[in-house]
Amino acid sequence: VQGLFFTGPLSQPLWIPISRRAACGSCGDAGGCPISMGSKAPLAGGLAACETLCSQSPSCQAIDWFSETQWCTMYSQACTLPTQQYSGSSSYQLAVRCSLQNGNTGVLMNGHCHLGVEVPSAWSVVQREVPVMLSSPKSWALSLAVAILYTYVMSSWCREKLQPVSWIVVEPVVYSWRWLREGGAWRRCLAFLVALAVWAWTTLHEFGIPQLSMKEKPNFTHEEWAWFGASFLVLVMALCKGFRSLIISATVTIGAMLMSVFTSIAACALSSCFDVAGLGIAGAAGAGEVATLAAGGVTAADGVAGAAAMEAGVGAVAAGTDGAVAADATAAASATAEAAAAADAAVMAEAAAAAEAAAAAEGVAAMAVFCSIQ
């Protein structure tokens, strides 16, 4: 949207007609008519050239245009009741914002603040155009077409699956290109003449006959500059194979960069909820792992106690005396008690760690659920 105000049509001043039939050279204003800042005639380029000339002058606020003589007169102040009528006279003024005491804004015309007219701003354009764009089937269809085209170019799997459909579109282009390349110079000349005729008809139909002058810079609109620039680019691409490859590569690279930026922005906007949910899942998995380790500790403790008892029994058989039996029994009991104490301590530590991890996982999971709801 900002680009429209810096380089697009909205970057140009907004002109409002004062009168389509009269100029401000003579007027019925109570305070008298404004004094002319100067005139220029003949001015090639029509009314648009006169408006551009005024907008390039810091103090110019209004103009008179005489279509029959191509005469442009500039004023530092607009009149309200123009009466001068001859040579196709008309008068215009730059749009000036005004506001009433209740806060409503409008445009000053004929000395009065008209609320029905609005000077466009970035925010007003967004408020008006975004809902229209979101509810437009054409906008959604174009967005879907761009997404499908990008997926087709970047995904080999998608190209393979869509080959029966894409070949219906590509086949006529391929055969036409082969017919053009294999037919010799006369086919290429014929194709060039047909393309030139189509271009000339489109240019005249859309923009009319351009008024060119060797003394002044061409006063083309942004659309005309874009059309002639694109036409020249296509011509050079058709004549130069190396330049064509360069432009195609640059176009694909820029498109990939733009899509990467869009993907990064979307991922950044959505990453917070996904990251928190991932932490919750990881915490829950960690709590389960700690609980498993605690259960393993209990099993290990039981194994230690059984091994100690078995070792005591083996010692008793080997000694074969009552004293040895008593001593070994005492040692076995002591080892069993120590193993049980160590196992209990390990179980308590693991259980405490499991409880802490489970509490942390519960908190993170709750945060993830809240973020997902938001």
Q: Check residue 71 and give its pLDDT.
A: 92
* Comparison of pLDDT for 183 and 245, the residue scoring more: 245
* Comparison of pLDDT for 174 and 371, the residue scoring more: 174
Would you place residue 74 in the very low, low, confident or very high pLDDT band (cuts 50, 70, 90)? very high
Any idea of the CA torsion for 76, 77, 81, 86, to the nearest 10 degrees?
10
pLDDT tens-place string over residues 299-331: 444 444 444 444 434 343 333 434 433 334 444
* Comparison of pLDDT for 328 and 86, the residue scoring more: 86
Which of 155-164, 224-233, 314-323 has the lowest average pLDDT? 314-323
Any idea which fold 2-124 has?
A: Hepatocyte Growth Factor (3.50.4)
Alpha-carbon separation of residue 47 from 259, 260, 314 (angstroms): 42, 44, 116
Would you place residue 91 in the very low, low, confident or very high pLDDT band (cuts 50, 70, 90)? very high
Q: Check residue 120 and give its pLDDT.
A: 64
Q: Where are the domains of the chain?
A: 2-124, 145-252, 268-373
Would you place residue 9 in the very low, low, confident or very high pLDDT band (cuts 50, 70, 90)? low
Asked whether 185 and 192 are in contact (CB, 8 A), the reply is no
Give helix 222-239 / helix 185-207 axis angle, nearest 10°.
Answer: 180
Q: Check residue 10 and give its pLDDT.
A: 56
Would you place residue 73 in the very low, low, confident or very high pLDDT band (cuts 50, 70, 90)? very high
* Comparison of pLDDT for 86 and 368, the residue scoring more: 86
Enumerate the β-bridge partners of residue 40.
Answer: 72
Cα–Cα dist 50/336, whole Å: 106
| 180 pLDDT more than 50 | yes
Q: Is the dihedral of CA 122, 123, 128, 134 positive or negative?
A: positive
Q: Are strands 105-109 and 97-99 parallel, antiparallel or unpaired?
A: antiparallel
pLDDT tens-place string over residues 100-128: 778 777 777 666 777 766 666 667 677 77
pTM of the predicted model as reported, rounded to 2 decimal places: 0.37
Highest mean predicted confidence (pLDDT) among 90-99, 284-293, 310-319: 90-99
In 3-state terms, what secondary structure has residue 72? strand
Q: What percent of the chain has pLDDT over 70?
A: 62
Asked whether 320 and 328 are in contact (CB, 8 A), the reply is no
Q: Check residue 118 and give its pLDDT.
A: 66
- Across the range 348-353, mean pLDDT stands at 49
Which of 4-13, 43-52, 309-318 has the lowest average pLDDT? 309-318
Q: What percent of the chain has pLDDT over 90?
A: 9
| 24 pLDDT more than 90 | yes
* Comparison of pLDDT for 195 and 320, the residue scoring more: 195
| 144 pLDDT more than 80 | yes
- Phi, psi dihedral angles at 18 (to 5 degrees): -85, -45
- Across the range 243-262, mean pLDDT stands at 82
Q: Check residue 45 and give its pLDDT.
A: 80
The mean predicted confidence, pLDDT, of the chain is 71
Q: Check residue 90 and give its pLDDT.
A: 94
Cα–Cα dist 93/19, whole Å: 10
Q: Are strands 105-109 and 112-114 parallel, antiparallel or unpaired?
A: antiparallel
Q: Check residue 72 and give its pLDDT.
A: 94
* Comparison of pLDDT for 62 and 178, the residue scoring more: 62
Tokens representing residue 199 in the block? 């271009």
Q: 44 CB contacts (<8 Å, ≥6 apart)? A: 70, 211, 213, 216, 219
Q: Check residue 274 and give its pLDDT.
A: 53
